[in-house]
Amino acid sequence: MCPMTDESEQRREIGHDEYDPVGTLALITVYFLIIALLWVFMYFVEFLGNEPTVVGTFLTVVGLA
C-alpha cells in the first residue's frame, strides 16, 4: 500500500504546452450558471416577495418611522 498518492499512479506526463484545462472551463461554467440562476431567484423571492427596503436617497436616516 502506498502511503501517499503520488508518482506511483501517474500514467503520463503532461507538460505546460500540451495541457488544455477544458474540464476546469466546464466546471467553472457550470458554477457560473448556478450563481447566475440563484441571483435571479434571489431577486424574485426576496425583493418581489417583501416590502421595500430602506435604501434610498432621502429616507436614509434612522427613526423616520
Partner 1 sequence: MSNAYIDDFPAEAKLVRTAFYSSFLALALGGVFGIIQTLHRTGYYRFIDSADYYTVLTAHGVFLVISFTIFFLVGVFTWAITTSLDRGVEDLRFTWGWYGLMAIGITLSGVAILAGFTDATDISASVLFTFYAPLQAHPMFYLGLVLFVVGTWLAGADWFRSWWAWKQENPDARIPLPTFMVLTTMLMWYIATLGVAAAILLFLLPWSLGLVDSVNPLLTRTLFWFFGHPVVYFWLMPAYMMWYIMLPKVSGGKLFSDPLARVVFVLFLILSVPTGIHHQYLDPGIAEGFKFIAMTNTMFLLLPSLLTAFTVVASMEHGARQRGGEGYFGWLTALPWRDPVFTGMALAGLMFAAAGFSGMINAGMNINYLVHNTFWVVGHFHLTVGTAVALTFMAVTYWFLPQITGRALWSRSVALGQVVLWFVGMTFMSNAMHRGGLLGVPRRTAEPQYDGFEFEAAVGSMGELQAQIALGGILLTLSLVLFFANVFGTALNGRSDELPANEYAGTLSGPEDAPLVLDNLKLWTAIAVVLVIFAYTFPLLSIVDRGGLFGPDINPLPVSLETVHLLAFVLESHATGALESIAWLGVSR
Partner 2 sequence: MRISKAGLLVVLALLAPLLVELRTVLSWVNVELTVLETAVVGAALVVVILVWAFLPENGDGKTAEGDASSEN
Instruction: Give the residue, chosen from 40, 48, 55, 65, that forms a contact with partner 1 under the rule CB under 8 A.
Output: 55
The distance of closest approach from Cβ of residue 54 to partner 1 in the complex, given in angstroms and rounded to an integer, is: 7
Secondary structure percentages of the chain, helix, strand, coil, to 5: 45, 0, 55
Instruction: Give the residue, chosen from 40, 44, 58, 62, that forms a contact with partner 1 under the rule CB under 8 A.
Output: 62
By CB under 8 A, the residues from 1 to 30 that bind partner 1 are: 3-7, 9-16, 19, 21-24, 26-28
Residues 6+ apart with CB under 8 A from 8: 2
- What cell was used for 39? 441571483
